[in-house]
A and B are shown apart, each in its own frame.
Chain A
Amino acid sequence: MSDLDAYRSKAAAWLESMVPTYGKAARKGLSEADDLALARKYQKAKFDAGYAGINWPTEFGGQGKGHLEKVTFDTEEMKHGFPSFYFGISLGMPIPVLMQFGEDKAWVKERVLKALQGEEIWCQLFSEPAGGSDLAGLRTKAEPDGNGWKINGQKVWTSWAHYSDYGVIVVRTDPNVPKHKGLTYFWVDMKAPGVTVRPIKLVGGDSHVNEVFFDDVKIGDDHRMSPVGGGFAVAIATLMIERYVATDSAGFGPHLDLFVELAKDTELNGKPAIEDGRIRQQIARNYAMRSGLQSITARAMAMMQAGMTPGPEGSLNKLVAVRSRQKLSELAIDLQGSDGFTYDDHASQKEDWTSSWINAPTGRIAGGSDETLLNTIAEKILGLPQDHRPDKGVPFNQIPA
């Protein structure tokens, strides 16, 4: 048995032992507040068992292991429906960025440890009403104020802001230069005076995203994580980290095994659906697509482990997987006929076809829309020309609104 296989079976056994306390069945019927409380305990248990921050440096409280161990653990963890998603953004982007760019290392370490143990949660305050795909188009501003800065404006779509203790934020510090050049990257205390969080209800019925208002919010210059005017580069670094954090070949929907089960159990015109060519074709094509993504991810992890930089093909993951999840979920509902109507807005998107389907459109927007992902692939990877951009080179305050 290879070391990795040994790691896998040890992790699998540990995860198995957590199922009664934190698994699907244990969470059933809990209010979100109780579920979050349970999630914090689960995160603490992970930390105590050495499964939090698996591939993070030990100096910050991580385990100092490789990327392969991290994906191995994640793959096993995914099977049980544990409440780990509350920390997905927090541990996914803001904390790794903090470890990389935070100046006060002792303070950073304290934050990392608290986040790893589920005590603190961070959010990512990038998008705004006028700056979604066009990230550099944002308007929330920070002006010098004594020894620090004063923030005014509004963010939107901020995942888990309502539970967050801190956030990383990109703001405009100079409107007189072209838009990419006038941005600066900070962290903010979400409990500071002047910060207001307002939940937004999404199609699937839940409210994990928010509007966040900043009204004369004062922060010290020690909150700054980029040079003044150099925030866009750190924002891009954040999105690069996101590329290999957000990998799930099922597009964050149900595993293909569940579709196969459904097709075996469902009759279509008097015959098992699994015998129908159209159904078989979808299974085969989805399998081929997902196995390709898994192979890309596995190769990327092996490369990182070997100290190399993975290729850009990791950017395909979300684009390809979420679209196919959307279609497969539609087909699963079709297959169930009138049984397909049932909908439970507490059902898991990873196990329930209706829940997967209703939330899939969200997945095609969040973390970059299909269109922007295609633009990125075309321009950054394939070297195709940029779209016509009338705002290019123009000082931000002269761009026609």
Chain B
Amino acid sequence: MSILYDEGQQAIATESRRVLEARVSKEELLPLLETSGRYHEGYWTTAKEQGWTALALPEAYGGLDLGLIELGLIAHQAGRSLSGAPFLTSNFGAAKAIELYGSDDQKTKWLPGLASGETIGAVAFASGANALPARPALTLTGERLDGVMTGVAGGLAADIAVVFANGPGMPVLAVAELADVKRTAIATFDNSRLYADLEFAGTPAETLVTGGAAREAALHILALQAVITAHEQAGGAEAMMEIARDYAVTRRAFGQPIGAFQSIKHRIAEIYGLVELARANCIHAASREGQADFITAAAAARISATEAYDTASRDCVQIHGGIGVTWELGLHLHTRRARSLAIEQGNLLFWEDVLVDRLTGEAA
């Protein structure tokens, strides 16, 4: 139970915050919303330079051999700064899938590129409302993939995708190269996440794991990503809380700061509660990687972080009054991100079910 950050970990948090604050600005993020297919490239360059892509991967493949706790700290800062590109999560998920379930050859082939950030990975399990469908939308025949995968985060830019597919009579986790795959950008409220529909037509793919184990593996990868996303959500929620607080201290009405009105003040104090619970669950989940209760802890982190970010972004806008809904102020960047992150790794309903299945002993 290592849940106190040590000095090295605290340094990672401070340094990543400094770097992100210096390189990501609202002025750059706003225009990204108006076109699809573009993301904050400066962020991705930063992520590569700083070694964030390599952070939680094994040294043997160019990684830094740190873990979910450290990557979570960076994700928290990424969430605060709205840095945009989804690759921190999906690149990590794809790499983990190959690291945990791939053969030595597959690891040698893919991991160094994913670690350096030269290769961009995505994870594509969902099918519409189903984060992990009983019957996946893709079919693997021999070593060829067919079918359409919708709403893949980072799908527009990814070089490879780890997919959940129907193999011969059983589910399978496979990795496919996307060079020849047809991609359609999705017009969305959060364009910088590069959501795309991917159309596989006889695309070459390599099997990682099959059968019942494939479903379990997919859930595990999803949970790893969910913990990172939850950190990002908690970071975003924290930023919204601080912005709301700062405004409530300075904006005046009826002769006093609006923060002196209890309807405003208590609202912000309630957000504080949600943010702290989310953070606590995130730290706990990150420290449980590899333990029997990891999925449970990941689900709890995901649930509380989703609630925190939605509430914080909603209330922060409200507290700002009219100015809160303007394009320029950019609070909507958080509102949008809160919603896109909420559905990216399986929605609240999905994680609630996963959690209750675990608590009632119904889980596989």
CB-defined contacts of A375 to chain B, threshold 8 Å = 262, 265-266, 269
- Stretch touching chain A among B8-16, B73-81, B280-288: B280-288
B237-277 interface bits toward A, Cβ cutoff 8 Å, 1 = contact, 0 = none: 00001000100110000001101101001101110110011
Q: Is B291 engaged at the interface, CB distance under 8 Å to the other chain?
A: no
Docked-complex contact A313 and B280, CB < 8 angstroms: yes
The smallest C-beta distance from B130 to any residue of chain A, in angstroms, reads: 15
A287-331 interface bits toward B, Cβ cutoff 8 Å, 1 = contact, 0 = none: 111011101101100110010000001001001100000000000
- Stretch touching chain B among A175-183, A234-242, A377-385, A393-401: A377-385
Q: Would you list which residues of chain A between 274 and 289 have a CB under 8 Å from chain B?
A: 274, 277, 280-281, 283-285, 287-289
The smallest C-beta distance from A306 to any residue of chain B, in angstroms, reads: 7
CA distance A351 to B269 in the complex (A): 31
Docked-complex contact B277 and A320, CB < 8 angstroms: yes
Docked-complex contact A384 and B273, CB < 8 angstroms: no
CA distance A287 to B241 in the complex (A): 24
The smallest C-beta distance from A254 to any residue of chain B, in angstroms, reads: 15
Question: Which of A288, A379, A386 contacts B355, CB < 8 Å?
Answer: A288
CA distance A277 to B356 in the complex (A): 10
Docked-complex contact B352 and A280, CB < 8 angstroms: yes
CA distance A302 to B273 in the complex (A): 21
The smallest C-beta distance from A383 to any residue of chain B, in angstroms, reads: 7
Total chain A interface residues with beta-carbon distance under 8 A:
41
Docked-complex contact A377 and B273, CB < 8 angstroms: yes
Docked-complex contact B265 and A378, CB < 8 angstroms: yes
Docked-complex contact B277 and A293, CB < 8 angstroms: yes
Given A280-B356, A378-B266, A381-B272, CB of A316 within 8 Å of CB of B277: yes
Total chain B interface residues with beta-carbon distance under 8 A:
41
CA distance A289 to B278 in the complex (A): 8
Question: Which of A280, A298, A371 contacts B3, CB < 8 Å?
Answer: A298
Q: Is B4 engaged at the interface, CB distance under 8 Å to the other chain?
A: yes
Interface centre among B270, B281, B283, B299 (most CB of A within 10 A): B281
Docked-complex contact A299 and B280, CB < 8 angstroms: yes
Docked-complex contact B4 and A386, CB < 8 angstroms: no
Question: Which of A274, A281, A371, A382 contacts B272, CB < 8 Å?
Answer: A382
CB-defined contacts of A59 to chain B, threshold 8 Å = none
Docked-complex contact A384 and B248, CB < 8 angstroms: yes
CA distance A376 to B269 in the complex (A): 9
Q: Is B218 engaged at the interface, CB distance under 8 Å to the other chain?
A: no
CA distance A73 to B280 in the complex (A): 22
Docked-complex contact A374 and B4, CB < 8 angstroms: no
Given A284-B303, A374-B269, CB of A302 within 8 Å of CB of B3: yes
> What are 17 A-B interface contacts by the 8 Å CB criterion?
A256-B359, A281-B349, A283-B355, A284-B355, A287-B300, A288-B281, A316-B277, A371-B262, A374-B262, A375-B265, A377-B273, A381-B269, A383-B245, A384-B268, A384-B269, A385-B249, A385-B256
B interface, CB within 8 angstroms of A: 1, 3-4, 241, 245, 248-249, 256-257, 259-260, 262, 265-266, 268-270, 272-273, 276-278, 280-281, 283-284, 297, 299-301, 303-304, 307, 349, 351-353, 355-356, 359-360
